[in-house]
Amino acid sequence: MFVLSQEESIMSLEQDIKQEKFTNEFQKMAVNIMFTSSWLYNNSVSRFKAHGITPEQFNVLRILRGSHPKKMMLADVSGRMIDKSSNATRLVEKLRQKGLVTREICETNRRQVDIGITPKGLALLRKIDAESEGWIATLKTVNQAEARELNRILDKLRG
């Protein structure tokens, strides 16, 4: 259970979006999740921009690294993406142009396209991983038990 002291609640959602009242706590929760999601996304944009990629492209690379050295079909990559509305075909093509992924027609099924991460893509992810501790530190305004509880609550909400 989250209990915030007066100091911890100083920058409340109400102050951030300049709205004094919500219909109920559930409406506030939904707005808070969307606001926080946007905040995290915008932090990610800056973080990945330095590496010449977008958060969505990072997500594709992360997925491909998880299956490496096995290649994946585009539909499988799409199904694992955080943002299901992302255009995976376009993302993969942009990453291919940067030399971070390969895109090959399957020899046994000409309609199937296999996508794999290149050594350059793996090197980029290692570089980003090495910088991740600083980013993670920005999230440590909550302790590990609070993070675990928040994850449980978010999983429950989606369940």
Beta bridge partners of 116: 102
Tokens of 22: 């919500």
pLDDT of residue 100: 98
What's the rounded Cα separation, in Å, for the pair 124 and 107?
29
Query: Which strand (E) or helix (H) includes residue 117?
Result: strand 113-117
> Coil, strand, or helix at residue 116?
strand
What is the residue type of 131? E
Residues of the chain with confidence (pLDDT) below 50? 1-10
pLDDT of residue 8: 47
pLDDT of residue 4: 46
- Which residue bears the tokens 């090959």? 104
Residue 152's φ and ψ, nearest 5 degrees, are -65, -45
